[in-house]
Amino acid sequence: MLESENNPLLNFVANLTGNQYLKVEEDLGQGFVRLNVSEAERRQAKHDIQSMEDIVLEMLRNSRDAGASKIFIASTKEENLIRKVTIIDDADGVPAELHEKIFEPRVTSKLENIITDRYGIHGRGMALFSVKQVADEVKLVFSAPGRGSVFKVQASTGLLNERKDQSTYPAIKYRIGEPIIIRGPHNIIRTVLEFNLDHRELMIYLGSPSEILTTIYHLSTTDGDAEEADEIQDLKIWRCVKSIKSATVLADIAERRLGLKVSVRNAQRIMSNRVGILKTMLETLSMQEGHSEPERKKVDLLKPEPLARRLSQEDLGHIAKLFSSEFRAIGDKYFVEISGTPDVQAEKDCLKVTIKLQSKGN
């Protein structure tokens, strides 16, 4: 046993110099300490936010409480490792002097109006601080009073959990006309949908950065509130891409102002209507299986064409051929080859490829 372990004075000095000292308010002896406030906050923060889904939920609660009516969420995963999520709202916005401060612990504008929702109390001034502790980066890209906010969060999925399956839409059942989520992974889609079901007045859009940008681009010219003057509506940051005519400018403004990174090529496709416009999350509800309410049928008209159906038979055949030729070298290693031609089926938003194998030389 080291001498210092039994010697309170040496222990004290060791604590003074090591970073243990920075975490402790009081040494209570026998291995007990009272943590100081900042260490307790740091630990609480890590406990509060454990997944990307938790982050998205806190962002949604913030937008709701700030008076949003529209929320756009762009989500993308890069190199299979980094999740990037951008949240754009049309709520009250944050004054410039507070842009940095809102990420500090215990900073809130909800002194008198704590909100309790199904997720608990909202108004501790801790969520953005917590997000900052667990994410690689969280940035307020834009915010101004009356104009809304744009937050961007980046987290490596290796460090911060998220559901592996981020594409499955939850299964919905209707009970007495009310949609209820009955199963499905607790992924970002489900988090957003559950939130939206609790707050049906909100128009929430969820998609890739390109899908969100195309939706914003088209809504900004078509969707106006007749009661409100154009100039007031145009103040909202999400409308800043309205009437842009150049793809280069669109890609540039989208990144700088809306935190949406799209290539110039994609911006061109967006401007020429070649990227599908998103439905709101609630509109997409009726497109899911398991709803049998007759009055919902008319909403089906909003159903967009399944993505895979856009591909022509000719292109599906081309993909099958590519598989055949690419597989040859791989198959050689295992003495197998493809029997017949691969079968490529277009189903909803998936391409399903069936490759039947046989021993080589059969």
Ligand X SMILES: Nc1ncnc2c1ncn2[C@@H]1O[C@H](COP(=O)(O)OP(=O)(O)OP(=O)(O)O)[C@@H](O)[C@H]1O
Query: Which of 59, 66, 127, 188: binder of Mg ion (CB under 5 A)?
Result: 127
Tell whether residue 127 is a contact of ligand X (CB under 6 A): yes
Question: Between 62 and 196, whose beta carbon lies closer to Mg ion?
Answer: 62
Residue 94 has which token pair?
Answer: 């944050």
Q: How far is the CB of 13 from ligand X (least distance, A)?
A: 38
Query: Which of 24, 35, 82, 107: binder of ligand X (CB under 6 A)?
Result: 107
Query: Which of 54, 55, 56, 62: binder of Mg ion (CB under 5 A)?
Result: 62
Question: Between 127 and 240, whose beta carbon lies closer to Mg ion?
Answer: 127
**Window of 60-68, 168-176, 206-214, 216-224 that interacts with Mg ion by CB under 5 A:** 60-68
Q: How far is the CB of 260 from ligand X (least distance, A)?
A: 16
Tell whether residue 59 is a contact of Mg ion (CB under 5 A): no
Query: Which of 53, 90, 92, 211: binder of ligand X (CB under 6 A)?
Result: 92
Question: Between 151 and 169, whose beta carbon lies closer to Mg ion?
Answer: 151
* Angstrom distance (rounded) from CA 89 to CA 73: 9
Q: How far is the CB of 151 from ligand X (least distance, A)?
A: 7
Question: Between 63 and 266, whose beta carbon lies closer to Mg ion?
Answer: 63
Tell whether residue 62 is a contact of ligand X (CB under 6 A): yes
Query: Which of 45, 52, 60, 126: binder of ligand X (CB under 6 A)?
Result: 126
Select the binding partner of residue 91 from ligand X, Mg ion, none (C-beta < 5 to 8 A, by kind).
Answer: ligand X
Q: How far is the CB of 47 from ligand X (least distance, A)?
A: 13
Residue 62 has which token pair?
Answer: 């913030």
**Window of 122-130, 176-184, 201-209, 344-352 that interacts with ligand X by CB under 6 A:** 122-130
Kindly list the distances between the CA atom of residue 57 and the CA atoms of 60, 62, 323, in Å, as whole numbers in the listed order. Answer: 5, 9, 40
Query: Which of 55, 57, 73, 94: binder of ligand X (CB under 6 A)?
Result: 94
Query: Which of 60, 128, 213, 251: binder of ligand X (CB under 6 A)?
Result: 128
The one-letter amino acid at 235: L
Residue with tokens 């290796």: 158
Q: How far is the CB of 115 from Mg ion (least distance, A)?
A: 9
Tell whether residue 202 is a contact of ligand X (CB under 6 A): no
Query: Which of 149, 191, 220, 266: binder of ligand X (CB under 6 A)?
Result: 149
Q: How far is the CB of 205 from ligand X (least distance, A)?
A: 15
- The three-state DSSP-derived secondary structure of the chain is CCHHHHCHHHHHHHHHHCCHHHHEEEEEECCEEEECHHHHHHHHHHHHCCEHHHHHHHHHHHHHHCCCCEEEEEEEEECCCEEEEEEEECCCCCCHHHCCHHHCCCCCCCCCCCEEECCEEECCCCHHHHHHHHCCEEEEEEEECCCEEEEEEEEECCCCECCCCCCCCCEEEEECCEEEEEECCCCHHHHHHHHHHHCCCCEEEEECHHHHHHHHHHHHHHCCCCCCCHHHHHHCHHHHHCCCCCHHHHHHHHHHHHCCCCCHHHHHHHHCCCCCCCCCHHHHHCCCCCCCCHHHHHHHHHCCCCHHHHCCHHHHHHHHHHHHHHHHHHHHHHCEEECCCCEEEEECCEEEEECCEEECCC
Tell whether residue 60 is a contact of ligand X (CB under 6 A): no
> Which residues, in sequence order, are CB contacts of 262 under 8 Å at separation 6+?
209, 210, 213, 251, 254, 255, 270
Select the binding partner of residue 107 from ligand X, Mg ion, none (C-beta < 5 to 8 A, by kind).
Answer: ligand X
Q: How far is the CB of 56 from Mg ion (least distance, A)?
A: 12
* Angstrom distance (rounded) from CA 67 to CA 92: 6
Q: How far is the CB of 116 from ligand X (least distance, A)?
A: 10
The one-letter amino acid at 215: T
Select the binding partner of residue 63 from ligand X, Mg ion, none (C-beta < 5 to 8 A, by kind).
Answer: ligand X
Residues in contact with Mg ion by CB under 5 A are 62, 127
Residues in contact with ligand X by CB under 6 A are 58, 62-63, 66, 89, 91-94, 102, 107-110, 122-129, 149
